[in-house]
């Protein structure tokens, strides 16, 4: 009988390992590309946090779309009840202030003055305004409060301010950058 001395044995499986390595790299590249495209699509779909929103269709002064709970009118609604009753809901420690009240109060121990840049029901909107203020160079804080029958509100405030000059400087800086503020007087009950 004749024997085949040529040998059919494959040596070390180098061809089999090379093929599986190539397939693994190819699968990894395809998965990485798919994940990168998914993340890019998700990021581009989200609104940009530092770009101002498009102006409203009707002309007029640029105002936040969310009503400011501090600027509540005292006009009664059609049913005889005041349209906003924030002053009755709150325990009486905050109220809007005028510039004259600010000048008359010489750093009273029981009163603090803040500038409120906005009030939002969505936390991301408040964060966007706070970031916008930070880019201007003004440090702000977000106060979250729950109002009965109104839900959760996120207020973007600057302060407290001890002197009128600093408050007016900050207000002018914000006005130059198109941000309207409201002066808020807070009475500290525990002092």
Query: Which CATH number is 174's domain given?
Result: 3.30.70.1070
Can you tell me the distance from the alpha carbon of 149 to that of 151, in angstroms, rounded to the nearest whole number?
6
Examine the domain organization and report whether 157 and 106 are in the same domain: yes
Which domain does 25 fall in, by range?
17-46
Can you tell me the distance from the alpha carbon of 144 to that of 123, in angstroms, rounded to the nearest whole number?
9
- 95-120 per-position pLDDT tens digit: 677 777 666 655 445 678 899 999 99
Burial of 101-120, coded b for 16+ CB within 10 Å and e otherwise, reads: ebeeeeeeeebbbbbbbbbb
- 145-187 per-position pLDDT tens digit: 998 888 899 999 998 887 888 888 999 999 999 999 998 888 7
């Amino acid at each position: 009988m004749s024997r085949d001395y040529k040998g059919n044995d494959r040596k070390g499986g180098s061809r089999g390992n090379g093929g599986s390595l190539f397939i693994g790299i190819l699968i990894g590249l395809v998965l990485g590309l798919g994940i990168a495209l998914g993340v890019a699509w998700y990021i581009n779909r989200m609104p940009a946090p530092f770009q101002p929103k498009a102006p409203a269709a009707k002309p007029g002064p640029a105002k936040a779309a969310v009503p400011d709970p501090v600027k509540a009118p005292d006009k009664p609604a059609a049913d005889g009840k005041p349209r906003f009753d924030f002053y009755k809901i709150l325990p009486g420690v905050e109220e809007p202030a005028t510039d004259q009240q600010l000048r008359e109060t010489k750093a009273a121990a029981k009163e603090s003055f803040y500038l409120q840049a906005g009030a939002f029901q969505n936390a991301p909107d408040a964060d966007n305004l706070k970031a916008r203020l930070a880019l201007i160079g003004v440090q702000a804080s977000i106060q979250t409060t729950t109002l009965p029958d109104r839900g959760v509100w996120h207020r973007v405030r600057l302060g407290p301010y001890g002197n009128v000059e600093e408050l007016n400087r900050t207000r002018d800086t914000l006005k130059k950058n198109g941000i309207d503020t409201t002066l808020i007087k807070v009475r500290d009950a525990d002092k």
